[in-house]
Chain A
């Protein structure tokens, strides 16, 4: 217990005993890409401060200013009717269920008006695969929303749109074009799960397989609809399959550049049909996030997952590659249906950002910086991980919104 014993032999060692990753560090520091094998090595490497520092360096290249962004938005879960029966989902009700609902126009109007009154513009319009709702429902609803309010529709999901195209007997690009023309601005990257068919067959055999999901994203990007990308890890996938997922996203991004952001979150086993799976830990989240940030060097924005990780780890994620706290979602039904109930208001969110050494700043759905947030009242918000995502670009709309002049940061 003497004070001077820290000069023990080996005292000059400047790395943890956790094994060498110096070659990968060198690559990352030089701004070079890592390959799959290197990603696997990092996913086995336990030295969190080292991984976090590498991810932070990549983040700095994309976001040189010490800011953390967020957007004011609300979830609009227009229907919970869905026939797909994903095993990880606690939100859906099958067609014919007494507990199924579809929001009326009055209900939708009240929700959007509440958002607009609070100074928000992002409507996250998501639901299920409800066979009663055809393409016209979406076209009419979107046109009506855009005619009535100056909002950004961040809506649907690949699975929903593939389904809508299918039941309308339309090619995907045509269907997407019609939705875009009706007012769909950007599409969340929901349903990415893990882009490996083995995993998708176990989790959601009724949904699109990996090629179909990627194909959807390619088509959307090609016709000018920007999207986010996601990863739901911690279910039945292997680490190799996580890397395969990241690689598919990186390859497509090289091709199209249409992903605004990436949002990883952990599978939430409670209340799903797969309760026996142990919930992924905070350690796993931070390591997976850091490796993703390093691997996906071509996706600019990384978003925290409040709902699945809680405020403490969400804040720590700001030093593991995250530059965005997502949306202060006024309502989030899907993840909370699976039993996770972290909530956060704007004041609390801004405090966490400042406490981490960053300045909180409002963005639009396209990650254009709007400015500091000022509002008379606190918004009770539940931050939706999965559902909330960075999204597509309407610079023009942002610029047209005089209260929030759009000044892209870089």
Chain B
């Protein structure tokens, strides 16, 4: 491996990794520029095994996208429709309850709820749909609302953010997903998602959530107009906040899907980029416990391979994903637990079924 690392010109970074020295932004840029996927992968795997051993986490989960109505007009999104569009839908709390009931026979551990910003929804709605899920499945953890949705909830609540956190927790919110950060860059924000929170606002909201005792994830939507330097800045900002709060659980790079968006002329991300992005995230985010390879976005094939390129989590069974599929994702909308375990075992990793907070779930007979 040393030969490959030397050929790639990464010997000093290799030394830093071995010594546990934090990498800087210049190191990250060199990792993006390095052609040798395996040299970068080897470095990431050192960190991955040091932190997570041979474990690969997965969860049995369900996605509920409660509305596709949205007033943010993000150029990368194929899921939303505008307010008043007849193609719009919004699930009532009763609909949400029914969705949860549909999967009652599945031993799901996490329900992931994110959606568009429908300005007509009242504050109580956001509490009610959490309660609806909890009324059916009190044992299931609810991971809901990106920071973008939280900003909307605060707007309609007409209450201070701290009180909103308390209400959401009381309704049953267990943790927060990582969406909405997109790329933490003023330029990219202005170009493609200018109606959402600014990067500074997103980070402030995440800080507030962590201080309120809620754990969250962090994502990065890559593969559109952002530069490598902007990706690096994004990672450094997350790392800085994590040093301060320790509240992030997982980092999840999200591969941009162009179909049906306003940027449909752009190509899909490549396999090399997907793997390197995971590896570089693992190397740079030395204070994040987990790096997730979200198979819905990058394909089950890349997720499986990525378990040797920095990732230690492949998300889960995901019953009924709709957002990425609106943008042309050709991946399945769900995988069975056995399929997931099979993919993981084949790579020599040990599948660990987890809940939303990465606590191992007691196993029934292993598949």
A97 close to B (CB within 8 Å) = no
Which of A50-58, A124-132, A139-147, A195-203 interfaces with chain B? A50-58
B50 close to A (CB within 8 Å) = yes
Which of A10-18, A152-160, A214-222, A397-405 interfaces with chain B? A10-18
Q: Which of B3, B20, B239, B305 contacts A282 (CB 8 A)?
A: B305
Q: Which of B273, B299, B308 contacts A355 (CB 8 A)?
A: B273
A310 and B20 contacting across the interface, CB-CB below 8 Å: no
A351 and B343 contacting across the interface, CB-CB below 8 Å: no
Residue of A nearest to B242 (CB): A1
B36 close to A (CB within 8 Å) = yes
B4 close to A (CB within 8 Å) = yes
A319 and B305 contacting across the interface, CB-CB below 8 Å: no
**Which residues from B are CB-within-8-Å of A286?**
305
B49 to chain A, nearest CB (A): 6
Residue of B nearest to A282 (CB): B301
B347 close to A (CB within 8 Å) = yes
Residues of A249-278 at the interface with B, using a CB-CB cut-off of 8 Å, are 278
Q: Which of B239, B272, B274, B299 contacts A356 (CB 8 A)?
A: B272
A401 to chain B, nearest CB (A): 32
B45 and A29 contacting across the interface, CB-CB below 8 Å: no
A136 close to B (CB within 8 Å) = no
Most A C-beta atoms less than 10 A away, residue of B21, B36, B246, B308: B308
Residues of B277-320 at the interface with A, using a CB-CB cut-off of 8 Å, are 286-287, 289, 298-302, 304-305, 308-309
B307 to chain A, nearest CB (A): 8
Residue of A nearest to B273 (CB): A355
**Which residues from B are CB-within-8-Å of A11?**
18-20, 50
Contact with B along A296-328 (1 / 0, CB 8 A): 000000000000011111111011000000000
A318 to B299, CA, bound (A): 18
B289 and A53 contacting across the interface, CB-CB below 8 Å: no
B286 and A48 contacting across the interface, CB-CB below 8 Å: no
B22 and A311 contacting across the interface, CB-CB below 8 Å: no
**Which residues from A are CB-within-8-Å of B17?**
6
A351 to B1, CA, bound (A): 28
A46 and B4 contacting across the interface, CB-CB below 8 Å: no
B3 and A16 contacting across the interface, CB-CB below 8 Å: no
**Which residues from B are CB-within-8-Å of A171?**
none
B243 close to A (CB within 8 Å) = yes
A312 and B301 contacting across the interface, CB-CB below 8 Å: yes
In the complex, which range does the number of interface residues on chain B fall in? 35 or more
**Which residues from B are CB-within-8-Å of A25?**
1
B125 to chain A, nearest CB (A): 34
Most A C-beta atoms less than 10 A away, residue of B1, B3, B38, B301: B38
B240 to chain A, nearest CB (A): 10
B168 close to A (CB within 8 Å) = no
Q: Which of A14, A18, A316 contacts B37 (CB 8 A)?
A: A316
Q: Which of A29, A281, A316 contacts B271 (CB 8 A)?
A: A316
B273 and A17 contacting across the interface, CB-CB below 8 Å: no
A315 to B299, CA, bound (A): 14
Residue of B nearest to A15 (CB): B1
Decide if the interface of chain A is mainly helix, strand, loop or mixed.
Answer: helix
A30 to chain B, nearest CB (A): 11
A49 and B1 contacting across the interface, CB-CB below 8 Å: yes
Residues of B260-276 at the interface with A, using a CB-CB cut-off of 8 Å, are 267-268, 270-275
A7 and B20 contacting across the interface, CB-CB below 8 Å: yes
A313 and B301 contacting across the interface, CB-CB below 8 Å: yes
Contact with A along B221-244 (1 / 0, CB 8 A): 000000000000000000100110
A312 and B271 contacting across the interface, CB-CB below 8 Å: yes
A1 and B287 contacting across the interface, CB-CB below 8 Å: yes
**Which residues from B are CB-within-8-Å of A15?**
1
B270 and A352 contacting across the interface, CB-CB below 8 Å: yes
A8 and B272 contacting across the interface, CB-CB below 8 Å: no
A50 to B348, CA, bound (A): 14
A47 to B270, CA, bound (A): 22
A71 to chain B, nearest CB (A): 22
B46 close to A (CB within 8 Å) = yes
Residue of B nearest to A18 (CB): B348
A282 and B348 contacting across the interface, CB-CB below 8 Å: no
B83 to chain A, nearest CB (A): 37
A357 close to B (CB within 8 Å) = yes
B63 close to A (CB within 8 Å) = no
A101 to B142, CA, bound (A): 58
**Which residues from B are CB-within-8-Å of A312?**
270-271, 274, 298-299, 301-302
A5 to B19, CA, bound (A): 10
**Which residues from A are CB-within-8-Å of B287?**
1-3
B41 close to A (CB within 8 Å) = yes
A315 and B271 contacting across the interface, CB-CB below 8 Å: yes
A48 to B271, CA, bound (A): 15
A312 to B343, CA, bound (A): 17
User: 18 A-B Cβ contacts within 8 A?
Assistant: A3-B239, A5-B20, A6-B51, A11-B20, A11-B50, A12-B18, A17-B53, A25-B1, A46-B308, A47-B45, A49-B41, A53-B39, A57-B3, A281-B304, A281-B346, A311-B270, A319-B272, A356-B37
Contacts from B to A (Cβ < 8 Å): 1-4, 14, 17-22, 35-39, 41-42, 45-47, 49-51, 53-54, 239, 242-243, 246, 267-268, 270-275, 286-287, 289, 298-302, 304-305, 308-309, 342-343, 346-349
What 8 A-B pairs are tightest by C-beta distance, nearest first? A357-B35, A46-B348, A312-B271, A7-B20, A6-B20, A282-B301, A1-B246, A49-B41
